[in-house]
Amino acid sequence: MTDGSRIAPERDATMPGAKREGALRRLYHWVLAWADRPGGPRALLAIAAAESFFFPIPPDTLLIPLCLGKPGRAFRFATICTVGSVGGGMLGYVIGAALYETVALPILEVYGYTDQYAALGRAYADNLVLALGTAGFTPIPYKVFTIAAGGFAVPFGAFVIISAVSRGARFFLVAGLIRWFGEPIRGFIERYFNLLTIVFAVALIGGFLLVGLVFH
């Protein structure tokens, strides 16, 4: 099972090309190896949490092979992934709110996300649901949005709710496809993962906006 998913890791803009690629590849295979170990679900929880504020490998990398290995537990793995991701996002929020200079800024600089961070204040002010909901579900780096949510004082309750819905939708979509279609769907998910999440995110955001209009 260790050939796993091909979900691409994020890139560290400060490392030379070959060195960066080698480090990310080793980290990617380390994450993937947990699919064959007894502690796989615990590793999934930790990786999902870490990815929400600093780790470069998406938790889907481990979620997919775990679900393929035990399709009957796919929704359990999605739950673990969601809990870890939202918990890590809450930590990212605290880092952005209270530790920007010492912790948040170095993380943003390592990944080259300082420009994106600067633009998020306006995005949150314009439409919090659209900005954060899109980040929680699509391949856009979620860690930048969690840190920025704290840095720009987004209401914490709204942050947690939107994160839980969007991240949960992403992980349960992957788990559901694998549970219902099994191994044959794997190649489709790996090849079209980014497009799949973007399309579903559009539907999810549309639902958020519709609810807002109904209860406005």
Q: How many domains does the chain have?
A: 1
Q: Above pLDDT 90, what percent of the chain?
A: 38
Kindly report, residue by residue over 71-115, the tens digit of the pLDDT.
Answer: 999 999 999 999 999 999 999 999 999 999 999 999 999 888 888
Q: How many residues does the chain have?
A: 216
Q: Is residue 7 part of a domain?
A: no
pLDDT reading at 20 higher than 70: no
Q: Is residue 11 part of a domain?
A: no
Q: Is residue 8 part of a domain?
A: no
Domain containing residue 155: 17-214
Kindly report, residue by residue over 177-186, the tens digit of the pLDDT.
Answer: 888 887 776 6
Most confident of 17-21, 44-48, 65-69, 133-137: 44-48
Most confident of 4-13, 120-129, 189-198: 120-129
pLDDT reading at 62 higher than 80: yes
Q: Is residue 166 part of a domain?
A: yes
Q: Is residue 140 part of a domain?
A: yes
CA distance linking residue 60 with residue 24, whole number of Å = 15
Report which of 64, 91, 96, 70 is spatially closest to residue 185, judged by C-alpha positions. 64
Count CB atoms within 10 A of the CB of residue 209. 14
Count CB atoms within 10 A of the CB of residue 133. 24
118 against 161, higher pLDDT: 161
Q: Is residue 10 part of a domain?
A: no
Which pTM value belongs to this model? 0.80
The predicted pLDDT at position 215 comes to 45
Q: Is residue 5 part of a domain?
A: no
The predicted pLDDT at position 3 comes to 46
Tokens of 13: 């803009």
